[in-house]
A and B are shown apart, each in its own frame.
Chain A
């Protein structure tokens, strides 16, 4: 019999990390992800792992770098302002090709913002976030179950591609309690001959992101990274669709926004409007071809976000002017409502849109 556990999203994610073999977790407290830190403090000893409450987000992410370079499975988590600080190490780890998992349980911003869930860090997560030409894989769960499942997958993806993987969720997902079936370990193993473990019976292993010679070294390294990102883009195409087959109106949303948008789809269909939902479960690489295909038989598209319009830019790039793209968002911790989404769609013909893409 399937065993369900009632867990907060943050706790489900933390337990899943342990299941995935994460043995090094370093973090600094920040709401709304404190449950992860507390869970790890309590449960890391059970698996003989390391938990350190670091002196700062900068230090926590650097500790992750040290353990990742040692060949361990390492993770940190935080919320928006803390993730900004972690960008330093994320850029270094992307440059040095170190696998790790970073969870961002987003809150409202900019600045200190608020502690309620938001989706204002989409740009930061999907465009690299720190300095330099790099991307990180960005997984976007929309419930506690996916927070757990995606975390297990995230560690494999990080090891497979030797790159940081971001889990991008929001405070509502992190703190809401839902039934979860804890995932099983995937059983995949990854050789790490590059790890710094002591130069015994082999040449030195050196893990760096400093490459001082512009044309013959650093440019080549950047080309190598780009080639890897292209491979990731070809391979990782993750999304879910809901009632899109005969949809006239297509909604696009991720995370908590997608759960609200899905309810709106059902309500709209009750009222005779054929709506469907396209939900990317990976935001970089973005499932652009799949969204374009899905939108090809729709007449209009509405992107719903808990921000003032970030993913909508990827949506527009994906459909490339083929259909009109409207946007509806609430930010700062406020939630878009089913009622507002329906009203937006019903009033479409009579509204003046500021976000409609010229076609």
Chain B
């Protein structure tokens, strides 16, 4: 192994050197690392405040060396709103899971986006409630088995998985909405790009940015850690396609380019 490789994979400055509580094969670790790298690249670690949700990533602030606070379940974007309005020159990130964002906090999610709050929402979609042991989430796939859909999710009883990006795209205010995933190294690189872009837009005051990340939860999916990435690709991506749903700053730049 060359020293160059060691250098390439060194720990980002904003990522604290502590033992993780996440399960083997969990996607949060990757996302935390990408987030920490983005903070370093944009040089915004010292001005960033994260709002942690109720869920597996409630201990987010134990891993990322930034100021942080905890919201009640689902209230993450509302708390982030309160922080951002009090400190408009800080970078405020609402990091949320699928239950937090689309079930108990649907109202907060929609309205923070609708107000065009200049915050970044990182939405980790792993198709179940991880922290409480694997219950059905709003994003649980049809026929997917969970503790509370033991025979598989039946859409006749519980409806279909909610697509957050598509839902938010019906609103006028959001500046940037993209769905990415962690299912292979190429996808991870795109995820990193999306996080950087979202934070960059916030820094520039462009408005609400939303990055949905399809992430693995092999423990609660009942599969081997190594099989998680493939499960995203085969099971989740067909229902939750990768897409840039909205990129107002890029659209404006393109329009400006044409005009000139």
Q: Hey, which bits of chain A sit against chain B, CB under 8 A? A: 23-24, 26, 50, 52, 54-56, 58-60, 62-72, 74, 88-89, 92, 96, 196-201, 204-210
- Establish whether residues B82 and A69, one from each chain, have CB atoms under 8 Å apart when the complex forms: yes
- Establish whether residues A200 and B78, one from each chain, have CB atoms under 8 Å apart when the complex forms: no
Closest-by-CB residue of A relative to B109 is A55
Chain B residues near A71: list those with CB within 8 A.
Answer: 86
Cα A207 to Cα B52 in complex, Å, equals 10
Closest-by-CB residue of A relative to B92 is A66
Answer whether residue B188 sits at the interface, using C-beta atoms and an 8 A cutoff. no
Chain B residues near A65: list those with CB within 8 A.
Answer: 69, 71, 75, 79, 82
Answer whether residue B120 sits at the interface, using C-beta atoms and an 8 A cutoff. no
- Establish whether residues A63 and B61, one from each chain, have CB atoms under 8 Å apart when the complex forms: no
Cα A69 to Cα B52 in complex, Å, equals 13
Cα A205 to Cα B90 in complex, Å, equals 14
Closest-by-CB residue of B relative to A201 is B46
- Write the nearest CB–CB distance from B203 to chain A, whole angstroms: 13
Answer whether residue B68 sits at the interface, using C-beta atoms and an 8 A cutoff. yes
Cα A68 to Cα B61 in complex, Å, equals 19
Chain A residues near B47: list those with CB within 8 A.
Answer: 198, 200
Chain B residues near A207: list those with CB within 8 A.
Answer: 68-70
Closest-by-CB residue of A relative to B88 is A50
Cα A70 to Cα B69 in complex, Å, equals 10
Closest-by-CB residue of B relative to A54 is B78
- Establish whether residues B107 and A66, one from each chain, have CB atoms under 8 Å apart when the complex forms: no
- Write the nearest CB–CB distance from A128 to chain B, whole angstroms: 16
- Write the nearest CB–CB distance from A324 to chain B, whole angstroms: 45
Chain B residues near A74: list those with CB within 8 A.
Answer: 82, 86
Candidates B61, B70, B85; contact of A67 at CB < 8 Å: B85
- Establish whether residues B79 and A198, one from each chain, have CB atoms under 8 Å apart when the complex forms: no
Contact residues, B44-73 vs A (CB, 8 A): 45-49, 51, 58-59, 61, 65-72
Chain A residues near B70: list those with CB within 8 A.
Answer: 92, 96, 207-210
Answer whether residue B80 sits at the interface, using C-beta atoms and an 8 A cutoff. yes
Chain B residues near A59: list those with CB within 8 A.
Answer: 75, 78, 81, 107-108, 111
Answer whether residue B83 sits at the interface, using C-beta atoms and an 8 A cutoff. yes
Cα A81 to Cα B65 in complex, Å, equals 40
26 contacts between A and B (CB under 8 A): A24-B82, A26-B82, A52-B85, A58-B107, A59-B81, A59-B108, A65-B69, A65-B79, A66-B86, A67-B82, A69-B83, A74-B86, A89-B75, A92-B70, A96-B69, A96-B70, A196-B49, A197-B49, A197-B87, A198-B47, A199-B66, A204-B61, A204-B67, A205-B68, A206-B68, A210-B59
- Establish whether residues B58 and A62, one from each chain, have CB atoms under 8 Å apart when the complex forms: no
With A66-B82, A70-B83 known as contacts, the answer to whether A204 contacts B107 (CB < 8 A) is no
With A52-B81, A199-B67 known as contacts, the answer to whether A62 contacts B86 (CB < 8 A) is no
- Establish whether residues A198 and B78, one from each chain, have CB atoms under 8 Å apart when the complex forms: no
B139-154 to A contact mask, C-beta < 8 Å, 1/0: 0000000000000000
- Establish whether residues B79 and A62, one from each chain, have CB atoms under 8 Å apart when the complex forms: yes
Cα A96 to Cα B70 in complex, Å, equals 9
Cα A92 to Cα B48 in complex, Å, equals 22
Chain A residues near B107: list those with CB within 8 A.
Answer: 55-56, 58-59
Candidates B46, B51, B65, B111; contact of A66 at CB < 8 Å: B51
Cα A208 to Cα B79 in complex, Å, equals 12
- Establish whether residues B82 and A62, one from each chain, have CB atoms under 8 Å apart when the complex forms: yes
- Write the nearest CB–CB distance from A90 to chain B, whole angstroms: 10
Closest-by-CB residue of A relative to B74 is A58
Known contacts A58-B78, A198-B90; 17 additional CB pairs below 8 A are: A54-B78, A55-B108, A56-B108, A58-B108, A62-B75, A65-B79, A68-B82, A70-B49, A89-B72, A89-B75, A96-B69, A198-B67, A199-B65, A205-B67, A206-B68, A207-B70, A210-B70
Closest-by-CB residue of A relative to B60 is A206
Cα A50 to Cα B79 in complex, Å, equals 14
Closest-by-CB residue of B relative to A71 is B86
Cα A205 to Cα B66 in complex, Å, equals 8
Cα A67 to Cα B86 in complex, Å, equals 5
Closest-by-CB residue of B relative to A51 is B85
Cα A197 to Cα B71 in complex, Å, equals 16
Closest-by-CB residue of A relative to B48 is A198
With A62-B78, A96-B69, A198-B46 known as contacts, the answer to whether A50 contacts B86 (CB < 8 A) is yes
Candidates A55, A70, A96, A200; contact of B87 at CB < 8 Å: A70
- Establish whether residues B65 and A204, one from each chain, have CB atoms under 8 Å apart when the complex forms: yes
Chain A residues near B46: list those with CB within 8 A.
Answer: 198-201
- Establish whether residues B66 and A63, one from each chain, have CB atoms under 8 Å apart when the complex forms: no
- Establish whether residues B71 and A62, one from each chain, have CB atoms under 8 Å apart when the complex forms: yes
Cα A67 to Cα B69 in complex, Å, equals 11
B68, B78, B83, B115 interface centre (most CB from chain A within 10 Å): B78
Closest-by-CB residue of A relative to B14 is A199
Chain B residues near A23: list those with CB within 8 A.
Answer: 86
- Write the nearest CB–CB distance from B20 to chain A, whole angstroms: 15
Chain A residues near B110: list those with CB within 8 A.
Answer: 55
Cα A50 to Cα B85 in complex, Å, equals 7
Cα A72 to Cα B107 in complex, Å, equals 25
Closest-by-CB residue of B relative to A74 is B82
B209-223 to A contact mask, C-beta < 8 Å, 1/0: 000000000000000
- Write the nearest CB–CB distance from B116 to chain A, whole angstroms: 12
- Write the nearest CB–CB distance from B92 to chain A, whole angstroms: 8
- Establish whether residues A62 and B108, one from each chain, have CB atoms under 8 Å apart when the complex forms: yes
